[in-house]
Amino acid sequence: PSCRRYVAGGRCKSTARLEGKVVIITGANTGIGKETARDLAQRGKVIIACRDITKAEAAASEIRAETGNQQVIVKKLDLADMKSIREFAEKFLAEEKELHILINNAGVMLCPYSKTADGFEMHLGVNHLGHFLLTFLLLERLKQCAPARIVNVSSLAHHGGRIRFHDLQGEKSYNRGLAYCHSKLANVLFTRELARRLQGKFQKQAEFTANALHPGSVYSELVRHSFVMTWLWKIFSFFLKTPCEGAQTSIYCAVAEELDSVTGQYFSDCQPAYVSRRGRDDETAKKLWSVSCELLGIQWD
């Protein structure tokens, strides 16, 4: 029915091939990450970077069987642990000579207050800082292989977020719904500042882009930490996208030819979407960048 078609939203129509290209997708063992991997595995080599290796291997062998592509590889990555992120990057750089697309897809949502291995609040640590560090560590390889793309999965929830520098780790006040919104706003600001820094660096010979997106409201395991949300998701599942429908904008940002030189933008349903006022604040974006570097103990100029 047309209602269902409306819910499904935009579809990625690009038939771009990725022969000889390498894609990393974080958190691709379930939900939209897995569907993104399934689609891109029909085009080229995909590396599934996940914390849960057993789940990831199951997803990978299902995708290999379905696509006939044996180049679907699992590597361990726990975004809640800087040591794991550094080990993943080190191993990847030693084993793979190429990297063309990095999809920062993994995320946590509505967690009760908890901290990562390095003492960061879980939403901020996994959704923002983990991907910030991963991108930093893989950036040179992406540059060498340009044209390259970085795709950050954010959310419409960024509209409800603000970057609270006075209480970044939510120690003074914590609301798990808002913590998720804050981390998704951080994704938008990171994308914006990253795109700004990449532009003009070496854009002469090749394109190197960074874009963010809202996948839509998707029926997935992301709400597992909330009983109420899990219950609501079940009731309203007809009005939610399937993971396959939810993956379309990620795929679009990763492969669509018309985005070759589009950078620093935010998409939903495979088209540009409205970014909140806070998501367009360049001063906050710059400050978040330097605070993130401080927290991670890195120099990224």
**Inside any domain, residue 34:** yes
Range of the domain at 61: 15-295
Question: Is position 300 within any domain?
Answer: no
d(C-alpha 301, C-alpha 289), whole Å: 10
> Considering the domain boundaries, does residue 206 fall inside one?
yes
Residue 203 has pLDDT above 60, yes or no: no
Phi-psi region of 266 (alpha: psi -120 to 50; beta: other; left: phi over 0): beta
pLDDT tens readout for residues 125-141: 999 999 999 999 999 99
5 in any annotated domain = no
Q: Answer yes or no: are the C-beta atoms of 220 and 31 closer than 8 Å.
A: yes
Query: Is the preceding peptide bond at 112 cis, omega within 30 degrees of 0?
Result: no
More confident residue, 45 or 239: 45
Q: Is residue 3 part of a domain?
A: no
Does 96 have pLDDT greater than 60? yes
For residue 171, is it within any domain?
A: yes
Per-residue confidence at 226, pLDDT binned at 50, 70, 90? low
Q: Is a pLDDT exceeding 50 seen at residue 118?
A: yes
Give residue 10's pLDDT: 85
Output the pTM of the full model: 0.93
- Specify the length of the chain in residues: 301
Active site residue 180: yes
208-214 and 266-268: which strand pairing?
parallel
Q: How confident is the model at residue 172, as a pLDDT?
A: 96
Collapsing DSSP to helix, strand or coil, 114 comes out as coil
User: How large is the average pLDDT for residues 268-296?
Assistant: 97
Q: Scanning the structure block, which residue is given the tokens 């129509």?
A: 13
Contact yes or no for 225/111 (Cβ under 8 A): yes
> Is 122 exposed, middle or buried, given 0-12, 13-18 or 19+ CB atoms closer than 10 A?
buried
* Element spanning 40, H or E: helix 31-40
Rounded Cα–Cα distance for residues 225 and 227 (Å): 7
Tell me the pLDDT tens digit for each residue of 186-199: 999 999 999 999 98
Is 48 within the bounds of a domain?
A: yes
Contact 244, 250 (CB under 8 A): no
Q: Which two tokens mark 243?
A: 């993971």
Residue found by looking up tokens 């930490």 in the block = 225
282 in any annotated domain: yes
pLDDT for 234 equals 60
Cα separation of 299 and 301, whole Å? 6
CA distance 8 to 5: 5
Angle at 160 between CA 292 and CA 297, to 5 degrees: 5
> Quick one: which of 191, 189, 175, 245 has its CA closest to 217?
245
Q: What is the CATH number of the domain that holds 92?
A: 3.40.50.720
Look at residues 93, 89, 64 and name the one whose alpha carbon lies nearest to residue 76.
Answer: 89
Number of domains in the chain: 1
Please tell me which residue in 6, 113, 180, 252 is annotated as part of the active site.
180
Mean of the per-residue pLDDT values of the chain: 91
